Structure 1
Amino acid sequence: MTDETLLIDLHSHTTASDGQLTPSELVARALEKGVQMLAITDHDTLAGLDEAHQFNNAQPQPLRLINGTEISTRWNNFDIHIVALNIERSNIVLNEFLCQQRRLREARAMEIGLRLEKAGIAGAYEGAKALADGAALSRGHYARWLADNGYAVNAAAVFKKYLARGKTGYVPNNWSDMASAIEIIHQANGIAVLAHPSGYKLSAKWLKRLVREFKEAGGDAIEVVLGQQTVDDRNNLIALSKLNQLFASLGSDFHFPSGWIELGKNMFQPQGVDWVWQMEKWTETP
């Protein structure tokens, strides 16, 4: 069986960051859904990978489990995420970098809590921290807590009302720049993928600029097939990948079971696309 016939999902999250399934539960669900190649890409951490590999290796028919992480970076004051695939988990440089990322993430989370408290929303930091349960604290945890406590109808509405740029709980990012993150990924023998490019709500002009500068910074690939997108969006991202000579990737960005985002769902592989797993340097590490 060739990679082109596999059901592949190269972007997912567990309770090691802001997902709601443990690493074992995520792998089990992927197997249930027929996913044959899965990347776990928790935000700025590798913490879930050991458990995921142990569980996967104990299965009668394990899937191909790809080591990954999703790194938050800064580009023109936007939060831009880079998925790192096939990284060496033990790489010292990468692990030190991710530790620093988590320190920055915690500092930002504390400031979000302070701003929400000043706006009359007490206990948000402590509530989000409890939901994180030791994982790297993210805006996603704040969104869940605020939704659970009636401040908006759901997490997406929380972002629009409280956490988006210009809103009460918005705190400018303090991440590394794209080029530095890409260099770290390469030092860990990984592949740098621009995550969910159409999710940043950029104009066509700015999106083209982002993809071009990502390539100029050393980026390897771009996600062109997402869990939810229009055919026009997919075709536009494929065109941008070809224009900038970037390989293509795909991923659901799964966080929890729902009716609209699911592991392996809508993971089409259009013909005539150079996929990231076809790269010469694609080497799956245990």
Structure 2
Amino acid sequence: MIRNADLHCHSIVSDGTLEPEALAARAAANGVDLWALTDHDEIAGQQRARAAAHANGMAYLTGTEISITFAETTVHIVGLGFDADDPALAAGLRATRGGREERAREMAAGLAAVGIADAFEGALKYVGNPELISRTHFARFLVETGVCADTSEVFRRFLVEDKPGFVPHRWASLSDAVRWITQAGGIAVIAHPGRYKLTPVQEDALFHEFKQHGGQALEVVTGSHTPAEYGIYADLALAHGLLASRGSDFHSPDESHIDLGTLPALPARLTPVWDALGSRVQYP
């Protein structure tokens, strides 16, 4: 019986600060018994994560978090329990990563225009995988150089819409992401829905289209949600007939508000996504 599942976190392979092995040890120390590493648009850390999970006595699910564009908003779709060797999934993720460097150079140019020089090179120092350079890496550079006190301040002042370093990116479509995951044998999950600035009509459309494309689950209990939002999205999962997922969205000991494995349990009225992934769970 799964008691403590954490199915959303990031390693240095994308925009986290810890190696997969360190994440696994931290999760196990906090009582996690089912874990998934869900690096952004990347599955290169999966073999290491699975081996580390098993070495620490945890069951493992393959994972990734795919960036998509929906209603002119960047939305994240987590994939769980897929075949990590699936060629169509690998090709789709590779294509999604492809536009990141060009976007990053445009961000650096915007920052240079307001007096912050060499931001692209500075951000690269924090990137474990250069294909996955992101706003988070720029934020760490601006904190290191004393421009801002913390990464939250960087985002507010420089990296959100209408600020100097913001550059939108056209990601994969919702149908693409769900298809890559499901055709590889996994289950697609809408990650941290409370984070998106969607109207109620847009959010309803997201859930309906997601289901139409074969999506099956919603992240209900997550480090990106408030306790009140746990209840809101539990109700919406039931209303839309979606399974429920749970994950800290942990990135770094110094930056994340919630540690691995420390979230409250899913509400009892929900069906956990791992119940539908029984055959895909990899046990030690």
Matched, 1:211 2:207: yes
SS state at 1:157 partner: helix
Distance 2:227 2:168 in 1: 32
Residue in structure 2 matching 1:106, options 81, 95, 101:
101
Aligned to 2:19: 22
Moved more, 74-83 or 50-59: 50-59
- CA distance in 1 between counterparts of 2:259 and 2:179 reads 31
Q: How does 1:29-44 map to 2 (within 5 A)?
A: 29-44=26-41
Q: Kindly tell me: are residues 64 and 280 of structure 1, through their superposed partners in 2, closer, same or farther at Cα, counting changes over 3 Å?
A: closer
Structure-2 residue corresponding to 1:64:
59
Q: What amino acid does structure 1 have at the position aligned with 2:257? A: W
- Partner Cα separation in structure 2 for residue 124 and residue 167 of structure 1: 15
Contact conserved, 1:14 with 1:23, CA < 8 A, in 2?
Answer: yes
CA distance in 1, matches of 2:66, 2:241: 22
- Which residue does the alignment assign to 2:86? 91
Report the counterpart of residue 190 of structure 2 in structure 1.
Answer: 194
CA contact (8 A) 2:24 2:53 kept: yes
Structure 1 stretches lacking a partner, 5+ long: none
In structure 2, how many angstroms separate the alpha carbons of the residues matched to 1:133 and 1:266?
A: 27
Distance change >3 Å, CA 78–CA 35, structure 1 → 2? same
1:225 aligned counterpart, secondary structure: strand
Deviates more, 1:156-165 or 1:197-206: 197-206
Per-residue CA deviation, residues 126-180 of structure 1 (Å, 9 max, x unaligned), is: 1111110335211111111112222222111111111111111111121111111
- Residue type of the alignment partner of 1:46: I
Query: How many residues were matched structurally?
Result: 281
Structure 1 residue 113 displacement after superposition: 1.5
Q: Is 2:42 aligned against 1:45?
A: yes
- Return the match for 2:143 from 147, 165, 168: 147
Give the residue type in structure 2 aligned to 1:124.
A
Residue segments in structure 2 that go unaligned for 5+ positions in a row? none
Which residue pairs with 1:264 in the alignment?
A: 261
Distance 1:73 1:116 in 2: 25
The two structures, once aligned, show a CA RMSD in angstroms of 1.8
1:172 paired with 2:168, answer yes
What TM-score comes out, normalization by structure 2 length?
0.93
Conserved? CA contact 1:225–1:267, under 8 Å: yes
Q: Does 1:283 align with 2:280?
A: yes
In structure 2, C-alpha distance between the alignment counterparts of 1:72 and 1:50, rounded to whole Å: 22
- Whole-angstrom CA distance in 1 between matches of 2:262 and 2:224: 9
Deviations 1:225-246 (A, max 9, x none): 0125333211110111111111
Aligned 8 A contact 1:224 1:249 in 2: yes
Counterpart pick for 1:13 among 10, 24, 41: 10
Looking at structure 1, the residues matched to 190 and 50 of structure 2 have their Cα atoms a distance apart, in angstroms, of 25
Normalised by the length of structure 1, the TM-score is 0.92
Percentage of pairs with the same residue: 38
Contact (CA 8 Å) 2:189, 2:217: kept in 1 or not? yes
- Whether contact under 8 Å (1:251, 1:267) holds in the other structure is no
